[in-house]
Structure 1
Amino acid sequence: MSPCTYLMMWFVLKRHSRPCGPSPAPSKHCIVIRVYDAGEVFGIMQVQREEEDEDGEDGERKKDNPGVVVGCKVVVTRGSGLQVSDPTSIYLVDHAWTYRVEHARQQLEQIPGLVSRMASLMGLDFHGEVPTPDVVELILERMWKYNQTYQLSQGSAEEKVPVWYVMDEFGSQVQHSDHPSCCMAPFFYIPGQLAYTLLWPLQDLQQGDEVTRDYAYGETNPLQRRCRLLPWIHDDLDGVSSVITEPADSYYEAIARENKEQLPVEVQPATVPKDKILKVFTEMSQVRNNLTHPRFLLTEDEEEADIIWSYGHIKDYRKLSEERPHVMLNQFPCENIVTVKDCLAAVARRIKGGPTPDWLPETFNLQMELPQFIKHYQLRQHRLDVVFCHHYQVFLL
C-alpha cells in the first residue's frame, strides 16, 4: 500500500476520530510523489437503465443515483473487497480543475485541454481542440452538478474566498445515495499548496458493490435535503410556500451571542466646541489618505483620539461608555441588524407589517430560507414560461 494511504489514514483518524486502530506517523513523501492507488481497488462501469415510473422499483434506484439513465458508476473491482476495519482502506482522489468563479470562463478559454477534459467528464459531445462559445457555456451551466468547494481558514481575505473544484473522472462518477457506502472529504496539504479528496468506506464492500456518497452530507432536515439535492433530483416542492416568515427571537439572540458585544451604559450626548480640532484614530487607508479637513487631525494613539474610525468590529461598548463616554465611533451596538442584508430585509418587512417593501429587492437567507428561495424562483420561471407561450401563440395567430 502506498505511503499516501497511511498519511491520509492518519488525517481521517485525527479529523473524524474513526476507531480503526493505530496509524503510523504522516509521511511527506507520499504528497511529493502523489500516488493515486484507487485504480487498484475500484473501477468505473457504464450503466444504462430503462426509464420507468418514479414510484416503481427503478424509481427508488434513481433516487440513489439521481438523474442517471445512461451514465457511469464506481464499483469495487478488487476480489477481496473493502473492509472498514482495514486501516489502509482510504484513498486519494485527484482534482481535475480548481478555480474561483470569476476566473472560470477565462480558464476554459485559455488553458489547453481543459474544455476537452471537462466536456468528456460531463458527457458533452465535443471532440475539437479549440473551445467554442457554445461548449464553454454548456460547461459553465453543467459544472454545478460536479462542483465541490472548500475555504481556507487562514490567510488574507482574498485567500479565504471559497475555492471551487471538480474531482477527476473517477471521483466525479461516484453517485449519490441517501444511504452511502463511502464518505469523501477535501484535504488541503499546506506545505505543497495542493488539494485532494479522501475516500474511505462506511461499511464493508464486496467485489461488484457500488461506491456511493451523500451529496447532501450533514443535512438531516428532510425539506432542506430535498432542496440541496434539487440539481440531481427534480422536485416541484409541492406544498412549500415562497412567503418568508419573520425570524424567531431566538435567531436574533443567537446573532447577539455570536457577536459578543458588551452593551454600553447610558451616556449624555457630548457637546463639541466649534473651534476644537478632533483627533482621529483609524487603520483604514481610505480615511487616512482622504481626511484632509483642517478640523481633523490623524493620531497614532487610540487613547487620545476623539474619534475612532475602526475597521474591526467594536465589541466592548461598555468599557468605552464608562471610561471614555464622549469618544465618537463609526459603529453602534447591534448595527448588523441593518448592515447585514438578511437582517435588514427582516426589519423592513417588520416595519411594513407584511411582505417586502417596494424599495427592497426580494431577499433570502439561504441558510434558513432555501425552500422559499427555490419556490420563488420556480414560480417566477413558471410565470415567464406562461408569458412566453402566450406571446408566441399571439405571434402565430
Structure 2
Amino acid sequence: MASPQPVLKNFEDFASVHGTLLAASGLPPALYRQLFEKLSLETFDGGSFFSIEPCEGGRLRCLVLTAEFMAKESCVFLIDHAWTFRLLDALKQLREVPGLAERMASLMCVDSDGSLESVESEKNRSELDVMEILGREIEKGRERGSDAVWLELEELCINDEMLCSMNLCDRFSNLVALNLWGNELRDPEILLQEVGRCKNLKALWLNDNPVLNERHRTPLGDRILALIPGLEIYNSLFTCNFGEWALAYCGGIYSSDCPDDSPSRGGSSPLGAITSLDLSDRCIKRLSYKREIISDSVMPSLSHLNLRGNPLNEDSENDMIKCLQGLSNLKLLEVDIPGPLGSSAMKIIEALPGLSSLNGVDTRDILENRKHVVDSGLQPRFPEWKASDTLAERVIAAMWPYLMTYRLADMEKIDDTPVWYVMDELGSALRHSDSANFRVAPFLYMPNGNIASSMSFSILWPTQNVVQGEECTRDFLFGIGEEKQRSARLTAWFHTPEDYFIQEFLKYQEKLLSRKLPSPREASTMTTSALLADGRPLRVYTDIPQVEDYLRRPEFVLSTSPKDADIIWTSRQVDEEMKKALGLGEHHYFNQFPFEACLVMKHHLAETIQKALGFPAWLQRTYNLETQLTELIGDYCHRKRENLDNLWILKPWNMARTIDTTVTSDLSAIIRLMETGPKICQKYIEQPALFRGRKFDLRYIVLVRSMNPLEIFLLNVFWVRLANNPYTLNKNSLFEYETHFTVMNYIGRLHHMNAADFSREFEKEHQIRWLDIHERIRKMIRSTFESASAMHPGMQSSSSRVIYGIDVMVDANFNPKLLEVTYCPDCHRACQHDSEAVVGSHSVLIGHDFFNVVFGCLFLGEVAHVSPL
C-alpha cells in the first residue's frame, strides 16, 4: 500500500516546497509567512480593505482602498480564480457550466442583452412592419413642426427589395440622417439608386451590411459621396465634406429627436453653446481647413476637445497648433501621443499654454514631471458584439483584457497547452497603470507537497504606500519594456494611435515589395553515389525506429557505433560539440544542414522568404510577434479601415501538431497570445479549396542532396490530411479543432487519404486538372529552397543529405500556399501510411519502402519514384 503524501505541517515545510515558486512570484520574503498563514486557513480578506466601484460609465470597474492607510510591502492578499480553462474549451464551458457565463458577464461588465430572451426580443423587433415605423416618423415630424427626418432602421432585416418599396426620397423630402446598420442590403446599384436620390442627407450608416463586402473599382463610399456631396458622416466616419452638422451631432446637438433645428435658429450656428466636443475615431484627415468653424467666433464656449484616433495626416504639426490656438477657451484636450501634435506632451503644453488638462492629466503635473501622460492617456478598448450574440459569445469577445495565463510543469516536462484564468471580482477590478501601486502574480499552492494536490491562486501586495480612497492599480505588462514592444502590446487593452501603426506597416510593406531574389547559381555535376570504392555497404547509425525497421536495402547496414558509421541519421541536433565528443569527422554524412533553422523554424522561414522575395503570393502575410508586432497591428488596422477580412492564425515558432495554435480575428487576443510563448501571426486562408466540403492540406517530401548548387528532388507522392468536420467561418467554429485543423494524429480521429484517389476525385469535384496545381506547388517548393540558398549560403555542406516535409494548402483559386517546412524526424511517420505514387505508366505503393527510396536517392543517386525540382 502506497504511503500517504506528505502534508505541509509548518512554515519551514511550505518555504522548502514552494521556494522556487516564491522566488519567481516576486513577493518580498518578509511576506512569505503571512502568505503561508492565509493559504493554510484559506483567508480571503480583501473585502475588508478594498471596494469595487464602477467607472467609465459602468463599462469597467476599479478597485479602491477603503482602509485608512496601507504601507508598501506590508501585507499580501489571496485572490481566487473565478474561471480556469484551456482555450479550445472556453466557449463550451461558458455554454455548459451553470452560472459561469452570467458570473463572467457581470465581472466583465458585459451587457446581458445577448441572453436567449433578448435574442428572441430582437427577432420580434426585426419582424415589425417597416412601413409602420416610417409612418410613426412622419407623425413625429408633424409634432416637431419640422420636415427634417432622422430614420432609425437598424437591424430590421431590410433587403434590396424592401428598400425599393420604402420609396424614401418621395416619402421624406428632407431626410437628414438614415441608419440602415445591420440589415441585409446586398446590391450596390439598388442602394445607390434609392439612397442617391436623398440629396439632403447629412449622415448615412450602412455598417454590417453585405453590400460593404463587395469589391469595386470605385469604393462604394466614393460613389455615394459623388451622388450626395452634402453627406458629412458615412458609416460613423467623417467625410471630406464634414461641417457644422457633423460637429453638432458629435456635440450632442442633433439626434433622432432633433435632426436639424435650422428654422428655429434663424441662421445662427448650432455650435455656439457646445462646451464639449468628442471627435474621437472619426477618421478625420485634415482639421485646419475647417478653421473658420473651429474658432472662437463659432464655438466660443468650447472647453473640452477629444481628437483621439484620427489620422490627421494631411495637417502639419504647425497647422494643427494654429487651429487649436483659435480656441481661446480650450482647457481640456485629448489627442494621440505620439500623433498629429508631435511626440512630446511638453511641446503641446508649451504651444497651448491655456490647457489645464492633457489626456486626463493635470498639465501642472506634467510640467513638474510628476506623472507620465501615457499612464492615463489611453482610452480603454471595449469589446464589440452584435445584438444577436448570445451571452457566452459576448463573454468570449470581452474576456481578453481580463485573462492571465500560466503553464504547468514538473521535473520531466512542460505542459504543451497553456492554462488561462480570470481572477475573481476583486482581482479583475485592478486597472492598469504604468506607475502601479500594487503587484499581482499567480501562485500554485501544493498542500501535499506535489503538483497533483496543487491549487492555483493569485497573490496581491502593495508596492507603494496607498491612502484611503486611492485607486489600486497594477501594471498589466510588468517587467516588459520598450525593448519587448511595450507600447504596441498595450493595444490589447487600450486604443493606441492607429495611424502610427498603419504608417509603420506601409513603410515595411514598401521595403519588402522592393526585394528580388538573386539569379540562381549554375548547377554543377555532383557525385551521384556515396558508395565506397571497396564496394562494402554503407554503415548507418540511427536512433529513429522507422529507419531501423524499414531500411532493408543491401547497400546499407545498421551500425551501433556513430564513430564507425558512414551515415549519421538521427533525431538529435548534431553540432560541432557533439561531433567532437563522438569522434565524427568530414567523412561522415549527416541528415542535417548547417543553419537549416532558416527553413524549419516558422519565424525564420517567413523571414528567409520575405528577405528574398518580399510578399510572394504563395506565402500568407506573416509577422514575428516578438519583433514585428507594430507592423502586424498596422496591417490589422489597415485591413479594418479597408473593410478587408481580418482572420489570423497564431503558431508557435517551433512546435508541431498545431500545439498552442489559435485562429482569431480579435486584435486583443492576438497580442495576449504572445504571453504563452514566441509565435508568428499569419493571415488565415479564409477561402481554402475544399474536398467534400472539408479543409485539407498536403504533405510533400523533398530530398536535398545539395544547397549550393541547389540539387533537390520531390518524392512522387504526397500525403493528404483531411479535417474531420465540414469547413465553416462561423466564429464559434474557431474553437473547433476538427474544423480548422487537419493534423489529427494526436487530437481527434486520424483521417488520411490515398493521393491517387484524392487527385482523381478532386479533379472530378472541381473540374480542374490536378497536374496544373501540382506544377504550381513544384515551383513554389523550388522557390522556397532557392530563397534559403541565396539568403543563407552557410547552409552548404558536402556531407549533408536531408529530407524535409513541406506542408501545403490550396486556396479557392487553386493556388498553393506554403504552411511550413518540417525537419526530417517529423517526416519519418510517412513510412507508416501507404500512398500511391505514379511513375510513368506504373503505380507503386510507397509506405514501408519509404526509406529505401529516400536512401537510394540521397546516397546512391537513384531517381526512381522522385522528380528533380
Q: Give TM-score, length-normalised by structure 2.
A: 0.34
Judge conservation of contact 1:219–1:225 (CA < 8 Å) in 2.
yes
1:1-397 matches, within 5 Å, as: 14-15=23-24, 21=30, 24=33, 27=36, 30-31=38-39, 33-47=41-55, 70-79=59-68, 81-86=69-74, 89-126=75-112, 134-152=390-408, 154=410, 159-190=415-446, 191=450, 192-221=453-482, 224-240=485-501, 241-242=504-505, 243-244=507-508, 271-273=530-532, 276=537, 278-282=539-543, 284=544, 302=562, 305-316=565-576, 318-319=579-580, 323-352=584-613, 355-384=614-643
Judge conservation of contact 1:269–1:326 (CA < 8 Å) in 2.
no
Distance 1:180 1:298 in 2: 63
Once the two structures are TM-superposed, the CA of residue 280 in structure 1 deviates from its matched residue by 4.0
Distance 2:472 2:390 in 1: 33
Stretch moving more, 230-239 or 167-176: 230-239
Distance 2:38 2:27 in 1: 22
Distance 1:32 1:286 in 2: 52
Amino acid at match of 1:34: E
3-state SS, counterpart of residue 630 of structure 2: helix
Distance 2:85 2:467 in 1: 36
Judge conservation of contact 1:10–1:25 (CA < 8 Å) in 2.
no
What do the CA deviations read for 1:124-176 (whole angstroms, capped 9, x no partner)? 2349799x972222222211111111234546666143221111111111111
Judge conservation of contact 2:59–2:109 (CA < 8 Å) in 1.
no
Once the two structures are TM-superposed, the CA of residue 368 in structure 1 deviates from its matched residue by 0.8
Judge conservation of contact 1:99–1:164 (CA < 8 Å) in 2.
yes
Amino acid at match of 1:151: R
Say if 1:111 and 1:313 are closer, same or farther in 2 by CA, change over 3 A.
farther
Amino acid at match of 2:488: C
Unaligned runs of 5+ in 2: 1-9, 120-388, 513-526, 646-869
Amino acid at match of 1:183: R
Distance 1:195 1:221 in 2: 30
3-state SS, counterpart of residue 230 of structure 1: helix
Distance 2:568 2:52 in 1: 61
Once the two structures are TM-superposed, the CA of residue 15 in structure 1 deviates from its matched residue by 4.2
Once the two structures are TM-superposed, the CA of residue 213 in structure 1 deviates from its matched residue by 0.8
Q: Which has the higher contact order (CA 8 A, sep 6+)?
A: 1
Amino acid at match of 1:338: L
Unaligned runs of 5+ in 1: 50-68, 248-267, 387-397
Stretch moving more, 171-180 or 99-108: 99-108
Distance 2:586 2:116 in 1: 69
Distance 1:219 1:226 in 2: 10
Amino acid at match of 1:314: V
How many positions carry a matched residue from both structures? 336
Distance 1:141 1:113 in 2: 18
Judge conservation of contact 1:154–1:160 (CA < 8 Å) in 2.
no
Q: Percent of pairs identical after alignment?
A: 30
Distance 2:414 2:31 in 1: 38
Once the two structures are TM-superposed, the CA of residue 237 in structure 1 deviates from its matched residue by 3.1
Once the two structures are TM-superposed, the CA of residue 39 in structure 1 deviates from its matched residue by 1.8
Judge conservation of contact 2:73–2:463 (CA < 8 Å) in 1.
no
3-state SS, counterpart of residue 611 of structure 2: helix
Distance 2:101 2:576 in 1: 53
3-state SS, counterpart of residue 108 of structure 1: helix
Say if 1:302 and 1:202 are closer, same or farther in 2 by CA, change over 3 A.
same
Distance 1:230 1:372 in 2: 13
Judge conservation of contact 2:82–2:421 (CA < 8 Å) in 1.
yes
Judge conservation of contact 1:310–1:330 (CA < 8 Å) in 2.
yes
Once the two structures are TM-superposed, the CA of residue 109 in structure 1 deviates from its matched residue by 2.5
Say if 1:347 and 1:222 are closer, same or farther in 2 by CA, change over 3 A.
closer
Judge conservation of contact 1:364–1:373 (CA < 8 Å) in 2.
yes
Distance 1:10 1:156 in 2: 19
Once the two structures are TM-superposed, the CA of residue 233 in structure 1 deviates from its matched residue by 1.6
Stretch moving more, 115-124 or 7-16: 7-16
Judge conservation of contact 1:94–1:197 (CA < 8 Å) in 2.
yes
Judge conservation of contact 2:62–2:430 (CA < 8 Å) in 1.
yes
Once the two structures are TM-superposed, the CA of residue 300 in structure 1 deviates from its matched residue by 5.9
Once the two structures are TM-superposed, the CA of residue 380 in structure 1 deviates from its matched residue by 1.2
Distance 2:31 2:394 in 1: 47
What do the CA deviations read for 1:106-130 (whole angstroms, capped 9, x no partner)? 2222322222221221222349799
What do the CA deviations read for 1:236-262 (whole angstroms, capped 9, x no partner)? 332331144899xxxxxxxxxxxxxxx
What do the CA deviations read for 1:174-214 (whole angstroms, capped 9, x no partner)? 11112111111111235332221111111111121111011
3-state SS, counterpart of residue 212 of structure 1: strand
Amino acid at match of 2:102: S
Name the structure 2 match of 1:253: none
Judge conservation of contact 1:281–1:305 (CA < 8 Å) in 2.
no
3-state SS, counterpart of residue 381 of structure 1: helix
Distance 1:48 1:343 in 2: 43
Q: Give TM-score, length-normalised by structure 1.
A: 0.70
What do the CA deviations read for 1:343-389 (whole angstroms, capped 9, x no partner)? 2222222223xx22222211111111100000001111211269xxx
Judge conservation of contact 1:42–1:75 (CA < 8 Å) in 2.
yes
Amino acid at match of 2:608: V
Say if 1:351 and 1:232 are closer, same or farther in 2 by CA, change over 3 A.
closer
Judge conservation of contact 1:94–1:167 (CA < 8 Å) in 2.
yes
Say if 1:187 and 1:385 are closer, same or farther in 2 by CA, change over 3 A.
same
Distance 1:22 1:105 in 2: 38
3-state SS, counterpart of residue 632 of structure 2: helix
Judge conservation of contact 1:116–1:129 (CA < 8 Å) in 2.
no
Judge conservation of contact 1:279–1:297 (CA < 8 Å) in 2.
yes
